Amino acid sequence: MSGRVLVGVKRVIDYAVKIRVRPDKTGVVTDGVKHSMNPFCEIAVEEAVKLKEKKLIKEVVAVSCGPQQAQETIRTALAMGADRGIHVEVTGKDYDTLGPLQVSKILAALAKKEDAQLVILGKQAIDDDCNQTGQMTAALLDWPQGTFASEVSMEGDKVKVVREIDGGLETVKINIPAVVTADLRLNTPRYATLPNIMKAKKKKIANVKPADLGVDLTSRLEVLRVDEPPQRQAGMKVETVDDLVGKLKETGHI
């Protein structure tokens, strides 16, 4: 067992920023807008670093796909305790159409190349809310998956994952190597400390191109239009329950 964990971290628009749609309706404004690590990716990094601190794994490798700025996100992961980083360079049109399919192909290739025993990802990104990358990565690798994890524990050559599902909590035990995706309550990510931020500067970030991994970035999706959510319409007050049922029937809601 290599004892190596791959953690995917995505650079997204910061959760506190007010999103604005571009005038050409092709996407949202990203220029000059504050970006940070996807919060669920932070939770993934924290879990990996915790496993290393418990000496259950040996090395945490942080991966991010994107242009030059993706390195900032990797540095944040390094400052939290990841050992080294891999920046998969994706720019221009390729970056605009980069989605779960392409990223999962990249992660699967890297997981094999790095001989990872675990791939830990955030359950979804807060910009596209796809919730697909972890699942696709596992499928491409033909590895078991424990998604929406609220608890992860290593038990020999298996991983026990408590999953948050609609009906409550489900516990699964899956063989290593495996893919785990982090949900909100898995842990509380640590602040990077000043000494760790400075140590992170010395940690290595390798540069890789998708072509080097044999990955085809062509998108199978075309974004036709991006619109703001419709303005909230005024509601209507009614006097009785009968009126309510009548109105609901009238407007075709029931």
Partner 1 sequence: MAAVGPLARVARLSSSICRSRTLDLSRCPQRRGVASCVDPAHGLTEEQKEFQKVAFDFAANEMAPHMAEWDQKEIFPVETMRRAAQLGFGGIYVQPDVGGSGLSRLDTSVIFEALSTGCVSTTAYISIHNMCAWMIDTFGNKEQREKFCPDLCSMAKFASYCLTEPGSGSDAASLLTSAQQKGDHYILNGSKAFISGGGDTDVYVVMCRTGGKGPKGISCLVVEKGTPGLSFGKKEKKVSASCSLGAAHACVQLAKDHLLVRKQFGETLSNNQFLQFKLAEMATKLVASRLLVREAATALQENQPCAVSLCSMAKLFVTDECFNICNQALQMHGGYGYLKDYAVQQFVRDIRVHQILEGTNEVMRMIISRNLLTES
141-180 residues in contact with partner 1 (CB under 8 A) are: none
C-alpha closest to that of 56 among 1, 108, 137 = 1
Could you say whether residue 17 binds partner 1 (CB under 8 A)? yes
Q: Is 75 in the site for partner 1 (CB under 8 A)?
A: yes
Between 87 and 105, name the residue whose CB sits nearer to partner 1.
87
Contacting residue, 34, 225, 237, 253, with partner 1 by CB under 8 A? 34
Between helices 194-202 and 70-80, what is the axis angle to 10°?
120
67 near partner 1, rule: CB under 8 A: no
Please state whether 156 falls in left (phi above 0), alpha (psi between -120 and 50) or beta: left
Single-letter amino acid, residue 27: G
Beta carbon nearer to partner 1, 111 or 121: 121
- From residue 109 to residue 128, the character string flagging contacts with partner 1 as x (rule: CB under 8 A) and all else as - is ---------------x-x--
- Binding segment for partner 1 among 28-36, 90-98, 100-108, 246-254 (CB under 8 A)? 28-36
Return the SS3 of 25: coil
DSSP assignment, residue 91? -
* Stretch in the footprint of partner 1 (CB under 8 A) among 59-67, 183-191, 209-217, 243-251: 183-191
User: Is residue 19 involved in binding partner 1 (CB under 8 A)?
Assistant: yes
Task: Select from 32-40, 90-98, 150-158, 239-247 the region that touches partner 1 (CB under 8 A).
Answer: 32-40
Residues contacting residue 89 through CB under 8 Å, at least 6 positions apart: 66, 67, 207, 208, 209, 210
Cβ(73)–Cβ(37) below 8 Å = yes
Closer Cβ to partner 1, 156 or 195, answer by number: 195
Please state the length of the chain: 254
Classify residue 83 by its DSSP letter. Answer: S
Decide if residue 52 touches partner 1 (CB under 8 A).
Answer: no
Among 22, 72, 209, 243, binds partner 1 (CB under 8 A): 72
Write out the binding residues for partner 1, residues 190-209 only, by CB under 8 A: 190-195, 197-198, 200-201
Strands 118-122 and 178-182: parallel
Identify whether the C-beta of residue 128 lies closer than 8 Å to the C-beta of residue 30: no
